[in-house]
């Protein structure tokens, strides 16, 4: 009943008893994993899991396996053999899932008996990500650490933190304190399509110490934190703090509504320098080899109307505003490459040509993934047609405000990270993996994040961890059975996932008429958005 499904699992002889006399020993190279597992299991077992002799022993050892691979054998003792610390951590996560769900309450209710089993496992993709938008709605450090633990439970390994947007700037920058003094706070938020506002002030940000703590906490759980500083669009909060970054004479406030905003950065050298200074601090805080600079949804109206932007276009010998955006993003690609990091950008960055080494986060359907891979760029598949968890899970009257389309659990489970057009094409090797995205325009609390992310995140985890689906598709009944057990674990942890009464919601896809939840209309919308990528595929 393990989620995500392991490569191989078979029952074996004997059984293991976890109790107050259980001991734990580990290869010194796996000391951190052992410390983590001890902390997880000690309250459950009712003992300290000391290295000394006990009634049963859990051993963590290194073996000749891929770094994220492991072999778990449960009999009278437990042995986890792994290719490296990450593999040992995943083996330990699997072991936890063999315990009854009550063990996830950490309530000291052992002894627990685990029937003999042998599991051999390794992930299909190296990039198993989740984007969390802490810009639209701030999430406290404590809640973010909890979310990291939930990602780790599902063997995800990349947290893409969307730190800045029109509605908020969430990262302390020492050189520019106004970014958070002003940019981290807004007076109210839009609540739905009818333009209603909630009248409730909102805000918050992470200090640099917070970020160091978050990055270290995630690293101990084998999760890389990839920061996103979105630009040149989605920058109204920064412009509110520093009007000199914008194109208008009059001041702006931090965004309170959502959608694709008009307010974008100007293209002065001083603005590029400002953001390079910001990135210098970002690079100090985030050791990940990848840094996302956004590049999505940049409206060009202000550049069209700006004499300064037009002059820049002429000086640089560019054709138009699209090329100006491409030039802007490339300035940061070069900056990051010179510092040994790789630029990640949304698929719009393909539109004007890209520096080699840039990674494309493809979000508007599959087209960007196909085009990027065929042009030799690595790709993270974030298809909004399957992986945008701000979209509702059902069209029910009691569901949140509609956004995008309906993405049911089974839609997510049917997702295939390698687009159909790339199957059999060597360019498919550029697909590093995939990423589900929890955008929070309309998600204003951790409880709502739980509701929107779970249980879909469990289905997503299986699409990036478990072996590729056979031609006839993934085994849905098998997933249903394992998910039922998994929901009991989520209950024990206190995850407020989307609950269903009676059987799980495997209803047929409802044909909801009208915008924006009509799937055909939605696909037409995506086709229109990506029409300028079509010639690249």
Based on the shown chain and the rule CB under 6 A, indicate whether residue 363 belongs to the binding site for ligand ACM: yes
Which residue in 30, 21, 80 sits closest to 52, CA to CA? 21
> Which residue carries 């160091």 as its tokens?
212
Q: Between residues 216 and 260, which has the closer beta carbon with respect to ligand ACM?
A: 260
Shortest Cβ 527–ligand ACM spacing (Å) = 16
Q: Between residues 146 and 234, which has the closer beta carbon with respect to ligand ACM?
A: 234
| H-run or E-run covering 165 | strand 164-165
Q: Between residues 213 and 297, which has the closer beta carbon with respect to ligand ACM?
A: 297
Collapse the DSSP code of 316 into the 3-class scheme (helix H, G, I; strand E, B; otherwise coil) and give the result. helix
- CA gap 187, 463 in Å, rounded: 40
Instruction: Show the binding pattern over residues 398-437: x = contacts ligand ACM (CB under 6 A), - = does not.
Output: ----------------------------------------
Number of residues interacting with ligand ACM: please give it, by CB under 6 A: 4
Based on the shown chain and the rule CB under 6 A, indicate whether residue 346 belongs to the binding site for ligand ACM: yes
Shortest Cβ 403–ligand ACM spacing (Å) = 11
Shortest Cβ 171–ligand ACM spacing (Å) = 18
Q: Between residues 138 and 403, which has the closer beta carbon with respect to ligand ACM?
A: 403
Instruction: Show the binding pattern over residues 245-284: x = contacts ligand ACM (CB under 6 A), - = does not.
Output: ----------------------------------------
Q: Between residues 363 and 415, which has the closer beta carbon with respect to ligand ACM?
A: 363
- Residue with the closest Cβ to ligand ACM? 296
Catalytic residue among 213, 297, 322, 323: 297
Residues 10-39 contacting ligand ACM, CB under 6 A: none
Collapse the DSSP code of 18 into the 3-class scheme (helix H, G, I; strand E, B; otherwise coil) and give the result. strand
- CA gap 223, 235 in Å, rounded: 27
| H-run or E-run covering 185 | strand 185-186
- CA gap 418, 436 in Å, rounded: 14
Residue 433: φ, ψ to 5°: 155, -150
Based on the shown chain and the rule CB under 6 A, indicate whether residue 296 belongs to the binding site for ligand ACM: yes
Based on the shown chain and the rule CB under 6 A, indicate whether residue 390 belongs to the binding site for ligand ACM: no
Cα 500 → chain centroid: 25
Residue by residue, DSSP assigns 332-385 as HHHHHHHTT-EEEEEGGGGTT---TT-EEEE-STTHHHHHHHHTT--EEE--HH
Shortest Cβ 501–ligand ACM spacing (Å) = 32
Q: Between residues 286 and 403, which has the closer beta carbon with respect to ligand ACM?
A: 403
Shortest Cβ 453–ligand ACM spacing (Å) = 16
Shortest Cβ 296–ligand ACM spacing (Å) = 4
Shortest Cβ 434–ligand ACM spacing (Å) = 14
- CA gap 223, 316 in Å, rounded: 41
- CA gap 441, 9 in Å, rounded: 41
Half-sphere exposure of residue 356, counting CA atoms within 13 Å on the CB side? Answer: 1
Give the number of other CB atoms < 10 A from CB of residue 82.
30
DSSP assigned state of 502: S
DSSP assigned state of 233: S
Tell me, yes or no, if 297 is annotated catalytic.
yes
- Evaluate whether 302 touches 262 at the Cβ level (below 8 Å): yes
- Interface residue with ligand ACM among 213, 281, 297, 488 (CB under 6 A) is 297
Half-sphere exposure of residue 435, counting CA atoms within 13 Å on the CB side? Answer: 32
Q: Between residues 135 and 487, which has the closer beta carbon with respect to ligand ACM?
A: 135
Based on the shown chain and the rule CB under 6 A, indicate whether residue 522 belongs to the binding site for ligand ACM: no
Shortest Cβ 261–ligand ACM spacing (Å) = 12
Q: Between residues 40 and 133, which has the closer beta carbon with respect to ligand ACM?
A: 133
| H-run or E-run covering 80 | strand 78-82
Cα 210 → chain centroid: 19
Residues binding ligand ACM (CB under 6 A) = 296-297, 346, 363
Q: Which residues are catalytic?
A: 297
């Amino acid at each position: 009943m393990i989620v995500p499904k392991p490569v191989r699992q078979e029952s074996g002889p004997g059984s293991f008893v976890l109790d107050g006399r259980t001991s734990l020993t580990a290869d010194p190279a796996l000391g951190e994993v052992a410390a983590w597992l001890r902390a997880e299991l000690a309250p459950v077992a009712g003992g300290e899991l000391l290295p000394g002799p006990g009634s049963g022993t859990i051993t963590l050892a290194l073996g000749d396996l891929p770094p994220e691979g492991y072999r778990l054998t449960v009999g009278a003792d437990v042995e986890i053999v792994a290719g490296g610390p990450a593999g040992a951590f995943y083996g330990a996560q699997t072991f936890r899932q063999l315990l009854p769900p009550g063990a996830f309450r950490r309530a000291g209710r052992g002894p627990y008996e685990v029937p003999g089993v042998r599991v051999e496992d390794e992930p299909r993709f190296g990039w198993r990500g989740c984007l969390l938008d802490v810009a639209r709605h701030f999430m406290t450090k404590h809640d973010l650490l909890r979310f990291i633990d939930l990602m780790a439970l599902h063997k995800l390994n990349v947290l893409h933190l969307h730190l800045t947007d029109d509605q908020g700037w969430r990262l302390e920058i020492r050189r520019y304190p106004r970014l958070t003094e002003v940019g981290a706070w807004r007076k109210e938020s839009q609540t739905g399509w009818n333009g209603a506002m909630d009248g409730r002030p909102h805000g918050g940000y992470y200090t640099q110490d917070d970020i160091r703590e978050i990055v270290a906490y995630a690293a101990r759980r084998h999760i890389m934190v990839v920061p996103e500083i979105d630009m040149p669009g989605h920058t109204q909060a920064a412009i509110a703090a520093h009007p000199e970054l914008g194109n208008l004479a009059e001041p702006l406030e931090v965004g309170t509504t959502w959608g694709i905003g008009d307010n974008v950065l100007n293209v002065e050298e001083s603005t590029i320098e400002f953001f390079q200074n910001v990135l210098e601090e970002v690079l100090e805080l985030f050791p990940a080899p990848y840094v996302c600079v956004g590049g999505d949804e940049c409206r060009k109206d202000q550049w069209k109307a700006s004499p300064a932007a037009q002059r820049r276009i002429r000086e640089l010998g560019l054709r138009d505003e699209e090329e100006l955006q491409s030039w802007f993003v490339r300035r940061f690609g070069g900056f990051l490459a010179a510092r040994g990091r790789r630029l990640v950008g949304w698929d719009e960055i393909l539109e004007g040509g890209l520096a080699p080494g840039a990674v494309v986060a493809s979000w508007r359907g599959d087209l960007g993934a196909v085009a990027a891979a065929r042009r030799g760029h690595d790709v993270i598949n974030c298809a909004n047609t399957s992986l945008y968890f701000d979209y509702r899970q059902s069209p029910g009257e009691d569901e949140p405000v509609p956004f995008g389309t309906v993405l049911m659990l089974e839609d997510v489970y049917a997702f295939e990270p390698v687009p159909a057009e790339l199957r059999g094409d060597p360019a498919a090797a550029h697909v590093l993996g995939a990423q589900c995205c929890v955008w929070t325009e309309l998600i204003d609390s951790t409880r709502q994040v739980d509701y929107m992310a779970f249980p879909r995140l469990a289905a997503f985890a299986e699409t990036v961890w478990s072996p590729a689906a056979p031609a006839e598709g993934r085994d849905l009944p098998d997933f249903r059975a394992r998910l039922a057990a998994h929901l009991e674990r989520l209950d024990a942890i206190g995850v407020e996932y989307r609950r269903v009464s009676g059987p799980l919601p495997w209803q047929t896809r409802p044909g909801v008429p009208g915008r924006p939840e009509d799937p055909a209309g939605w696909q037409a919308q995506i086709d229109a958005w990506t029409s300028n990528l079509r010639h690249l595929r």
